[in-house]
Amino acid sequence: MNAPGKLVAVELRYALEDLYARYVKCLDDAAFDAWPEFFTEDCRYTIRSRENHDRGYPLALLDFESRGMLKDRVFGITQTLYHQPYHQRHVVGPLLVCPGDDGSITVEASYAVFRTKQNELSEVFNVGRYVDVVVEDAGALKFREKRCIYDGALIPNSLIYPI
Amino acid sequence: MNAPDKLADGAAAVWNTGRESRVPYRVYTDEEIYKRELERLFYAGHWCYVGLAAEIPNHGDFKRTFIGERQVIMVRDADGGINVVENRCAHRGVVFCQQNFGNAKDFTCPYHQWNYDLKGNLTGLPFRRGVRVKCEDGSAKVNGGMPADFKLEDNGLAKLKVAVKGGVVFASFDHAVEDLDSYLGEVKPWFERAFGEGRDGRGLKILGYSRQRIPGNWKLMQENIKDPYHPGLLHTWFVTFGLWRADQRSEMVTDRHGRHGAMVGYRNSGGRADVTQGVSSFKEHMKLQDERVLDVVPEAWWNGPTACMQTIFPSLIIQHNVNSVSTRQIIPLGPNAFDFVWTHFGFADEPEEMTRRRLRQANLFGPAGYVSADDGEVVELSQDGFLQREGGNTVCELDGTGTGGAPHNVTETLIRGMYAYYRKVMEL
């Protein structure tokens, strides 16, 4: 944890704000082919319930260990998984930025995802927090880890697109 | 049966098709039929799944869950035994336990502090003997108190009959239910293959839970896992990677009543074959960028088959598909929805690498899984169709109209068998 009062450089904070803004726009625009590019090659991406997280159970809804697995998921959601199409809208809260000693940055932020199906009202779909590790990779900030920890254990039927 | 019964138009009017191969849409949507299902299938005559013994390893550990719509608590007592009691205080009906998991010395209702031991016996309550007060004239008297003939032993929690087999805990509100082995009947060997001591007696290691609320009738999920015809059509991953398809060696097993099922399959190598012709979900050129998700390692206990999907009527599905194993509990919520709770597990003494493999393969299953998310979606769409207007029925006539097992997977026989049994018990 960052010591209270220790300031994060303004440029870094802006760069992170920009990263998150671009990340959620990618998902909300359903530009899924661009999604794996936000991650490092050896990334870790999980969507895991708060229940499993708090009780120390490793099971996640999605548990990916490389950018390749993210690309496989994109193929899955665009080519193989039958589902009723829906729009996502992410709202991300303030970033809690904690630079580590090794140059990586831990970022934690609340998120809410709304789902809008065709001919349906918008609904709260998934609410939780990101616990991420961001690193500089070839001159750009990328996620080495992105752990989505959702509060409500129940998924409203299915979860198809990334959070 | 003491349920209010308003199916006034009679069984013949409800099951107007006259045969189990054609299920009237009404049985998926009707409130009165649903109430009768709760009474006859979930609360009487049947065993329901409540959990795994490994979820409550220590004295006092408990888990809250549901049988039908009733909340129950599975708890391990000081003797190491597992009890299941209803989460409902005998005094005013308070649903006193508000944690899904925990550890307790005893249970106390918050309202008037009625206290129960871990077997559900009432051990005491405040002011049972009244409150002693001094009167103005110096004498003493006792105010209140329970009647002299009030007996603690007559006022415990509702205690369920419990059976634990291979670390799987079942319970029933019906103390006259047949013993579990007899209940499992002809699918017992498949149950024991997954859990029995015949395998090697190892303990289970809980990996975690997935929970989803599916807006469809609960029976549709029983049907989904009694339907070996859809996986090779709906699920691209199954057909493309040869995990489950119409040309593989397989066997459909059911019990003498037709209520339980086991779909047993042997994975083949995948690739092009006649069976993939015209199957739009087959993707010839599909290749994984990272193949670790399908890094299958055969395990000794499989004893051949790479998959065995069991349906233990009415509330449980047992999944073995390659290295991913789980229980899936069906919790009905009215005729039009159910909660589906997955408990993934491994084995206590396995290497970390094998646990990691199971967790990777878990990407195929659950509410987001490559071969499961779409099951929830199509169940919802079936229900939407049922609700669209009155009338109509399913057509489950692949491989004829008979019931019983089958030596292949191009069949809907297990679904017909379940409904033949259902009609008998439901008197429809």
- Interchain proximity B292–A69, CB inside 8 Å: yes
pLDDT at B12: 84
Q: Cα A131 to chain center, whole Å? A: 8
Residue B323: is its pLDDT beyond 50?
A: yes
The model's pLDDT over B142-183, given as tens digits with 9 standing for 90+, comes to 999 999 999 999 999 999 999 999 999 999 999 999 999 999
Check if A80 contacts B (Cβ < 8 Å).
yes
From first CA to last CA, the distance across chain B in angstroms is 15
To the nearest whole number, what is the mean pLDDT of chain B? 93
Predicted pLDDT at A154 = 96
Check: CB of residue A90 under 8 Å from CB of residue A24: yes
pLDDT band at B1 (very low <50, low <70, confident <90, very high): very low
Task: Name the interface residues of B facing A (CB cutoff 8 Å).
Answer: 100-101, 206-215, 234-237, 240, 281, 283, 286, 288-290, 292-293, 339, 344, 355, 359-360, 362-363, 366-368, 370, 373-374, 376-378, 380-381
Residue B5 has a pLDDT of 57
With CA atoms as reference, report the closest residue to B209 among B324, B327, B313. B327
Alpha carbons B119 and B159: distance in angstroms, whole number: 8
**pLDDT at res. B244:** 79
> Comparing B75-79, B127-131, B231-235, B326-330, which segment has the lowest mean pLDDT?
B231-235
**Residue range B356-382: average pLDDT?**
96
Whether the pLDDT of residue B4 is over 60: the answer is no
Can you spell out the DSSP letters for B258-275?
A: S--EEEEE-----S--GG
Is B198 a residue whose pLDDT tops 50?
A: no
Residue pair B125/B89 in contact by the 8 Å Cβ criterion: no
The per-residue pLDDT for range A98-140, each reduced to its tens digit, is 999 899 999 999 999 999 999 999 999 999 999 999 999 999 9
Q: How many CB pairs under 8 A join A and B?
A: 124
Q: State the Rg of chain A over Cα.
A: 16
- Are B368 and A62 in contact (CB < 8 Å)? yes
Two tokens, residue A116: 């809008």
Segments in chain A below pLDDT 50: 1
Helix-strand-coil percent breakdown of chain A, rounded to 5?
30, 40, 30
Nearest to B396 by CA among B226, B188, B262, B235: B226
Distance from CA of A66 to the nearest CA of B (A): 8
Instruction: State the average pLDDT over residues B136-140.
Output: 91
pLDDT band, residue B269 (cuts 50/70/90): low
pLDDT of residue B238: 81
3-state secondary structure of B59: coil
- Alpha-carbon distance of B337 to B120, in angstroms, equals 31
Enclosing H/E stretch for B231: helix B231-234
Hey, what are A55's tokens?
């009780």
Per-residue pLDDT band for B270 (boundaries 50, 70, 90) equals low
Q: Which residue of B has its CA nearest to A162?
A: B368
The alpha carbon of residue A40 is apart from the nearest alpha carbon of chain B, in Å, by 14
SS3 B190: helix
Question: Amino acid letter at A143?
Answer: F
Structure tokens at B80: 């190491």
Length of chain A: 163
Phi-psi region of B221 (alpha: psi -120 to 50; beta: other; left: phi over 0): alpha
Residue with the bigger pLDDT between A43 and B268: it is A43
Q: CB distance from A17 to chain B under 8 Å?
A: no
State the complex-level ipTM: 0.95
| pLDDT value at B8 more than 70 | no
Amino acid B217 reads N
Strands (E), chain A: 39-49, 62-64, 86-92, 96-99, 105-117, 123-137, 140-150, 154-156
Confidence band (pLDDT; 50, 70, 90) for B196?
confident
Pairing status of strand A86-92 against strand A154-156: unpaired
pLDDT of residue B43: 98
Q: How far apart are CA B118 and CA B115, in angstroms?
A: 10
